[in-house]
Chain A
Amino acid sequence: MTAESGAMTTPVVAVDGVSVRTRDRTILDKISLDFSARSLTAVVGPSGCGKTTFIRTLNRMAELTPGLRIQGRVLYLGQDVYDPTVNPVVVRRRMGMVFQRPTVFPASVFENAAFGLRLVRASEEEIDAAVTEALQRAGLWDEVHSHLDGPALALSGGQQQRLCIARALAVRPKVLLLDEPTSALDPAATQRVEATLQHLKEEIVVILVTHNVGQAARVSDRVAFLHSGHLVEVGATADMLERPREKLTEQFITGRFE
């Protein structure tokens, strides 16, 4: 791996030899990758290469899919999230997740943003403050502050997706996982989400799955390229996109793929 700035500090998330297999095939093959504080890593690769599976192994969502066998270690601030004494529910509360499609609940805007805090029985004052802050960080506050009690399902798709980001941020995670968060959005909404992400990477670890090289170029400081379950190459965004070392990476970046 390249010598990156900040390689000396302990990573927030360290993936150590993670493999995911079904009964008859390998979906991810011994992936090792570190994520240090205040960074945005784009995970790119052709459809079916294992991007979704990869980020779902980080917060133990992958194990909810029957038939997947997960091996290796994922360290969160030095602790293995797969340690038998660790409750997966707590892991998921520490690493927020945003999905491809907006997934708001049929409740008010406020209650959607407050969902994670209600799960841990936070006080009303704490919830009020955290919801406001999360909506601001997600870049949604100006649009919704006057109708927080309105139904979240009445928001536009782009607003709903930023509400999902706010929901994940409200519990103040140190890690945010996003699985192609803009693939269902129009260009304007995509731009707003990207602006939000650029803001967030100054504060926390953001891991962004995207099939869109342009998006990786715009928002990430590091790109990891997956191909049929292998981590082919990882490096600083500018290096990766301009001088890829691997043939496969180059083919993917130049669009001779998919």
Chain B
Amino acid sequence: MIQTPPGRAFTLPRKAVLLAAAVFVTLILVPAFCHQGYALRLMGMIFMGIALASCWNIMSGYTGYIDFGPAAYFGIGAYATALLMVRGGVPFFLSIVLGGVVAVAFAVPVGLPTLRLRGAYFAIATFAFAEATRQAVLEWDRVLGVNFFQGSHGITLPIGPTHQFFYYTFLVIMTVLFVITYLVERSRMGYALKAIHEAEDAAELIGVNTLKIKIYAYAISAFFTAVIGGVDAYWLTYITPNDVFSVHITIKMVIMCLLGGMGTLLGPVVGASFLTLISEPLWARFPYDYLIIIGVIIVLVIVAMPKGIVGTLLEWKVDSRGT
């Protein structure tokens, strides 16, 4: 947990800002020097991972409410974008934003009842919601006798631009989410989120409208998850319900965040980079044992480093200062 000493809440550490800006500028320049499709694609995927992990972090990392259903919003965003572009001829960037809006339109009514649930119940309810949306999109056409989502046949999008395009799109989304997380962490809302995590009833008792704060966090998270889903749909050019509503998307978000450190600014960055970088070569080398190895890594990390990479480092730093 990053502590903000009183009085310094509004001043950013100068060095950190400079460093972040330098990284950002470097990342903008990379495609100018590196024309390798593979490298840009890999970087793009890392950015997407960081963005997704940040979405989950804003909601679950800070509040401790384990959302096991973000795949619902990823899928909603993917389908909204696909349908808008294919059926409505809506331009890409407008489509992804509209996809985010659709996701919020789901997140608020879904969040209102579910965010009153605690612990495992919230986790299971959100999971059920995600699976229900997947099933609904899968079965919709058959049950209603229409031709809308095209069930398991999926939807083909217009052929997307180059990897470089997605590199920049995800770089922007990732940066926006990073800045939002930074601002939220220092804002009133950030304190309320952490308070909810620690002792929700006590937070409510000292004036925090906990449900409202949770809904905000949930809606922000849903909006961006859907935007990312929309971009990814365009990148993939072909989507089916089983791909974009997959529980594996949820799990990836959770694990990246957990690996890096939940409720920390840098956790998603570290976790997503780590997971993407190790899983790509693993997947290439051991396509059949890949998931087994990932399973082993998950278990080992949880048992050995329950606070995640960033959390463990922070703790180290605190301990070595002799607190």
A, B bound: no
